Structure formats: structure tokens, C-alpha cells
Structure 1
């Protein structure tokens, strides 16, 4: 159509960067390691990219002038195909952004991969659309205008791209390392000097010790000599003392002999005087003895009375013992009677047990026969199951053929389109609905022909392809409320949880997590999932997989479980909250949206329970670091995700037990921002209520 066209896309990319410094209080996204080394200003780099793109125009094969004029039609047709294919990929991305689709197909062509930062991102984009005035190109002109109209609906949010200047940081770290190494060497030298000084002191002390040991040995020898001299002198003094003691003994014996003779003389003189006194003394002693005898007699009488009382008590005890012996004899007679009755009953029971044993033997024979019949039925069911598996494979083949035919027709429509492929994309929603209806028709056909028990039995198949398609069928059936109760009653939930635990296939994990997420929409199924360890299994899958779609299904299932306050404690204990935060590292928009929805459900239910007085204390989310995560990411995520995060944060702020944690993490500024800038009325009202009713928040804001 344009003879002067270069028949190619021209792209000029210019990368710009500028270094700057910001203070520590402004660096909220700087790593902790850099802050530890450089507490002052930290160097940053502003990076930007300028793209100037001249897109080639789309070409209709039947209208292309270049093809008709040139001799090599095959080469020109291929070029036209590639031009139209890249432009159709760009049109897909623009349509997806205009419709707020969760998936943007930027990987379909090299052109969209290079321009993905310019549309729907953080760049400032200007689009110039050129059209022709000729009526012959009316369809191309209209499709180009429609493309420009859709492109105007794409909203870009400008944001500066700031990164740390690691080269400057490296130089600073290198200087710091050099300084530290020099300091370490200086310390080592000082240490070496100290060691030499200590060694000198040690040698001096050893010399002093040797001198002291020589002098002390000499002093010890002198003391031992003096000791021997003193010992010899003591022996002499002891001998002299013994001689003196012998002389004293002789003198004492003489004194005793003189004293005895003197006493004999005194006694003879006093005997005459003492006879009269003796008579008076004897009378007094007799009177004292009579009084003592009378007192002893009274004591014996009182003791006799006490013995009589004790004898009466013993007689009473004897009579009681005799009566108790008679009672025991009566009890023995009764026990003998009961023993005889028990023996008769035991014999009767023994006969009855023998009869029951014979009956059980007969029942055993019947059960053995039934077991044989069940084994035959089981063999029949296995053959039937194999036939069902072959039928499923046949239906799967027909399904893939239908999908291939649909993809061929879709490619044909794209090739026959004009402009940026807008006509094909205008019918995209209709095609997707037709594809979904055909898939549902295939699923319903399998369900009607095979039956739910047989489909659930295929979950245990050894063929991986059969197992995958069976899981997908169950997941699609679980999306409808009518089928959920049937799936649970037939043991489908147990089979899904078993697959989640034993299988290593990513597709099975994704489909199984999706089926569990659909079943978790029902309150009664939530209790079964939690009691069977479903939260723990979902957390394990989230920690092992790297697939964003699998993480999206797992996060959706956990988010549905967060909406029931009865299972919050078990969900936290099984690691569900930590798994949600761990999946944030993927950076996938759909996964982050499910994470935000789960945290919002958890905080909302918890706030309702605490306001009703059923539970007290800090939020269960704070221990897992959710509050810090919310404050750090509430302003950097997309608006749809931000609304859930803001609502969760406002519900956490309603509990006064969380006030200290919110203040420490800097959540007061976030509450003030939400109360002024949030797009949700309920979030703004909750933020204002928390700021005005909480005394701790009022004190901080003042």
C-alpha cells in the first residue's frame, strides 16, 4: 500500500542514568546491609530509558502494492506475515490492558517484549497514529482509529526508578576494609609488643622465684636445726619434771598418813558427843520414811483404779471383737453362696460361648464364600476401570483435536485480519466463551458417561496423563456448588489431599489446589479441609513450587480458609500465614492479589471476633510479620491489591492490643494516608475511627 515503506519496525533505545545522594530518613527501600556499613548518606542512581519507535504499517495481502510490484512474492508475503503478527501481538497487549485483564501476553513477540515497559507500566508514553484519507483503505483506517481509542484507555503511572550505586558502595566498602585491615595489623603489633613485655616479666618473676626458693631452703635448714635443739632441751626438762613429781608423791603420802592419824583422834573425841545426836536423827528419819510409805500407798491405790478402768475397756473391746468375728462368719457364708451362684453362672456362660463359637465358625465359612465373590467383583471392576481409562484417553484425544482445530481457525482469522488485528480481538471474548462452553461440554460428557465414582477412581491411576485429566475434571466439577457435596461424600476431598501430599507433578499440584480452593468456598468443607491437614499440605506445596499459577491456586485456597475465624489458630499453626507471605517473592500480580485477599479476610474476621468479646490479645498476624509487610508494601502495589491491604491494616488498627506494634512499625503515617487518600469509603472510615478512638494513636498524632 505504501511504496516508500521500509517494511520493518525501527526502534531507537537510549539508556540514561544520573547519580545522586539522599539521606537515611528518605531511603526506605535500601537493604539493611548497606545501612549497617554506611549510616549516613547513601548513593543512588536514577535510571531511565527512552524508546523512539516507528512501527511498520499492517498490510493486506490482496492490497499490498509492494508484493504485486516485486517479482519475489514469497519473500514479501513472509515479511508481511511477520509484520502483521508483531502488530497483532501489540494489539493483544493493548486490548488486555484496556480490559484490565490479569494476563498481559507480552511474550508473544519480540516487539511486545521490547515495548512492555512503555504501556501499562511506569513510563510516560505518547502514541502517534497515522491513517490514509483514501476510501479504498477504509477498513484499515477504522481499525487503526479503534486501536488508538483503546490505547487511550491504558493508564500509566509514572515512577522514578531508583537503584543503589553499588560501584560507589563498593569503593566505600573497600576503603573501610583497608582501614580495618590496617587497624587489625596495628592491633596485632600492639599485641605482639605486649606479649614480649609479658614474656620479659615472666622471666624476671622466674628468676625472683628461683632466688626466693634458694633463700627459703636455707631458712628451712636453719629452722630444722633450731627445732632439733629445742627438742633436746624439752626432753631434759621433762626428765627433771618427772623427778620433781616423784618427790612430790612421797611428800603427799606422808601428809596423808599424818592427816589420817589426826582424824582418828578427832573421831574418838567426838564419838561421845555424837551418840545423843544420832538418836534424834534416827527418830526424824523414821518419821520421814512413814510419810513416804503413806504417799506410795495412795499412789498404788490410784494406779489400781486406773488398772481397773483399763481392764473394763479391754473387756469391752473383747466383746466387740467377738461380735465382729460373728459378723465375719456371716459374711463368709454369704460369700460362699455368691461363689456358688457365680460358678453356676460361669458354667452357663461357658456353654453359651461354646454355642457362639460354633455359630462364628459357620459365619466364618459364609464370610469366606462372600470374600471369594467380592474378589471376583473386584477383578470385574478392574477390567471395567481399564476400559474407562481407555475411554478417557479417547475423549482426551478428541478434545485435543478440537482444541487444535479451534487454534487453526483462530490463526486463520488473525492472518486474514487487517490493521493491528483489531477485528480478531473484538471477537476474543466470544471465542473464549465458546472455548469454555466446549470444555464444559466435554467435562459434562465425561461426567455423564463415566460417573463421579469412576472419575475419582481415576485419580489413583498409574498413568500420569489420565491422572492429570481426572484432576482437571474434578476441579471443574468442584467449581459448581451442586457437585461439591457429592465430591466430598464420595471421598474426593481425601483423594485430592492425598495427591497434594504424594504427587511431584506441577500440573497436578495446580489443578488439585484449584479444586481445594473451590471446595473451600463452602463453610462445612473448610472444617474438613483443616481437620485433614489441608493447610499444612498447601503450605508445603507453596514452599516447593516455583510456578506462579500453582502459587495463585494455593494462595486462593488459603485465602478462602482465612475467611473462617474458627480455624485461625490452626491455620497459623500449620504455617498458612507464613506460606502466604513467602509467595510474595514471586512478584506475580495474581498471586499478590490472592495474598492480599487472604490477609484482608483474616483481619476482618479477627476484628469481628475481638469486637464481640470472644477473644482478646494481639492479632495472630503480628507474630508472623504481616504488619511489617503491610506497612512496607501498602503504597507500592497495584490499586486493586492496595485496597485489600488497606482494609486489612484498618481492621488490625481497631484492636487496641495492636497499638504498640503499629506505632513501632510506623503505621500511624499509613493510617493517616488511608484516612485521606484511600479509594474505599469503608477503609477511610475505619482509619478515621482508629485515629480518633485509640488513646495511643491520639497521643502520637498530637
Structure 2
């Protein structure tokens, strides 16, 4: 029990511990042997769970909180200035409204007084006109009575005329005079009637003007009352706004004090964390030194074992190489576990980390995840492709270039991803990396990515335009077998897709590969490489030979002999079949053979 407790810490955290269990063959040690074996079995079941350690950078947090406090303070000051400005504007509007209301009151009072005066004048004029009208009516009545009296007297005189002829002439003259007077009186009566009618019309006009003046005065009084109500409302709103602003200002001040207290506590935490980090850094330095010493001792021991040539060393080496696949499987399992626990967005976020080691590990994880078809769609949806292309463009690290190119190569195996890669300039970025790097492994990854893009005839023209084909052929200068194998695979994919499109009648003309001098390269290197690479080169050449437009170039470069060799000596049936088909179906080739 004491031994188990003493080694408990060795199985925790990120420690890598090896436990050797020894037993004795003697029967008398059976109990100890069985307990030791059981202990070993239990120890084998111990599994460490990897957890992502998150560290809080209190300095950054302190700066962030301080910036936020400054921002809130400036915002509060700006709001105070804005409210002060609004207050001044409202006060100015209030003064203007009061002045306008005062002027309106004065104007209304003056207009009312003038209207009252005009009203009294109109009433006096109306009374005077009524009196004149009554006098005229009295005169008219008198004239009417006179007319009646004259008519009666005329009748009497007519009767007297009958009685006395002598008085006839006098009566006729008198009658004419009376008739003349009656006519004049009637005319005067008509004139008085017309004057009375005109006076009545003028009186009606004066009454209408008086009613209009009264309605105008009433309207002005109503306007004055409405202005008073509006002024009271504006004053009330302004008062409420001032009170609310004062409440907000007090609230902001309290929040500022609270944030200041939090800032002080954060500063204290930052200082404590800084001291703790310094102690941890010192501990890390000490552990690194001890680890370096241990590694040196282990390397010396290993060198001694190799020099001695003992069978034990050889068996250990074979055991390690034999367990490579198991190690790779365990690494993938670990990556899958990280993917499940951490989450793809967090892994992709690490691609933008400022620490180089973090970026390298993140790219490797994404590259391994992209090897599985089920993960490719998720990576693209979460913006992983954009992040990889950006990293390929901005980073100067060879390891990142290699891992990023490998991830893009895995994604390029999907047709939908090929369109995204090409449209986002992925081929051009890969070509740039190929022209810059001297690392064979990076070139192998770049060549693999371009080879996968060559398998889609839709992007052949763009691939050539972006320099992908030229970069693919340029990487041949490395002389590295794996790189050349990827180059050959890409050429075979390109030629096969192009041949299929031409045979279907969707395209005509020479091959795009011939324009970059591929035939000379094939003629010079078709028999120099391992069988798998040679097979791809032979397939590329045979597919090029299927296009009649390429016949002249093939004949000029001596390709007939190569076709004959492939048709007879190739180790692949499909290559021999394609070579024979090209030789038998092309009249130009048949003519050269004869």
C-alpha cells in the first residue's frame, strides 16, 4: 500500500511511466508472485485523460478591464456633455417659447382692444343708421298720408269739376301740379327705399366683419392656451429628462467605483499570477535541465548498446519498428479524443495563435482530421480551409508549410473542396511554396495536393494559369523519389481526365501539358524510376497519345518508340492496352511504324 501511494504521482498528469514487474519462479514465492502479477494487471488499466489546460493571462485581463473602464469613463463624459448640450438647447427653446408667448399675448391684447373699439364704432354707426332709417320711414309715412290726402282732395275736386265747368281749367292745372308733386314724392320714396336697402346691406357687412373679428380673437385666445399647454408639457419633459440623467450619472458613478474595485482586485490577482508564473518558469527550467541530463545519459547507453551489437538491442529496435502502426493508430485515437473534447472550432482557432509551436501542433491535428472523409465537410464549414490557405500564405515556417500542404492535399480529394481551393487561389499558393522551399517532404505534400487537383478536368486551365503545372514539373529537380512519385501521379490524373473530355467531344486541340514540355520530360525519365512511378508516367504518356492533335509533337520527340516499348514491356495491362490502341487507331503513328 505504501509503495502504491508513493508511485501514485507517477501515473498522473502528463507523465510517461514504465513499470517493470519482476517475479520469481520458485513455488514458495507463489503468493508474492500472484500479488505482483495482479498489481501489474491493475497498473496496465491506468489510462491518462488529456485535458486542455487553459491559462488566464491576468495582465491581458487587467489591460482589457482598464481599457473598458477608460472607454466607459469617456462614454459617460461624452453622455454628460451631450445631456448638458441638450439641456442648454431645451433652455434656449424654453426662453424662445416664453418670448414668443409673451409677444403673442401682447399682440392678442392689442388686437382684442382694437376689435372692441371697432365693435363700439360699428354699434354706434348702426344705431345712427337705425335712427336715420326710422326718421326716413316717418317721413315716408307723412308723405304717404299727404298722398292719400291729395288723392282724396283730387277726388273732391273732380266732383267739384263736374259741378262747375268753370272751375275745370283751374282744377286741371291744380291736378297736374298735384300729380307732379305726387310723382316727385313717389320718386323720393323710391330713392329712400333704395337708400334704406343699401344701408341694410352695409349693416350686414359690418355685422359680418364684427363676427369675423370676434372669431379671430377667439382663435388667438385658443392658440395662446395651446401654447401654454405645450410649454408646460415641454417643461415637464425637460424636468423628467434632467432627473433621469441625474439618476443615470449616479448609477454610472457607482458602476465606475465598482469597476475600480474589481480592477484593484484584478491587479492583485495579476501580481500573484506573475509571481506564480515566475516560480513555474524556474521549475520548468530546472526540469528541462534535468531532462537534458537524462537524455544525454540515455543516448550514451543506447550508443553503447548499438556498438556492442547485442541481441537485446536488436530485438528492442525491431519491437519499436513493429509497433509503428500501433503508435500511429494510438496517435489518431488521441487526436480524435482531442477533437471530441476540445471541439473543432477551438482547434481551428489555434491556427491563428501567435506561438509557433501551437500553430504547428494545430496544423498537424487538422491535417490528421482531414484524412477522414467524415471530418472534411466539418473543417470546411467551420472555416478551416480559409485558415489553412491564410497560414500557407503568411507563414514562413517549413513545418507549417508541410503540414498545411498535407491538410490541403487531404481536403483536395473531395470534388466540392477542389472548387473552393481553386477559387480561393489555393493552386497559386501551392506553386509559390514549391518555388520557395527546398524541403523534400514539403514538396511531396505540395505535389500531392496539386496531383489531387489535377484529377478534375474543370480546373485544368486555371491550374495551368496559376502555375500549378509548371510548379509540379519544377519539383522534379529535387530528385526525391516520393516527390517524383506524386508528380507522376498528378500528370497521370491530368492526362487521363483530359483524354476523357476530348474523347467525349467536349474539347479539342493540343494538350495543356505539351505546352509545358512534358513530352521531353517523359522521354528522358520514363525508365528511371521505381515501377509504381514508372506506371503513372506510362499512363500519362498513353493518355496523351490518344489525342490526335498531339501526334505531331509525339512523333517529333521520338514518342513512337516509347509507345512500342510500353505496348510490349510495360508491367501493367492497362498501359499496354492504351499504347496498342494509340498505335493502331492513329494513322500518323501507323505511317511512322511502317
Q: Which has the higher strand share?
A: 1
TM-score scaled by structure 1? 0.41
Question: Which structure: larger Rg?
Answer: 2
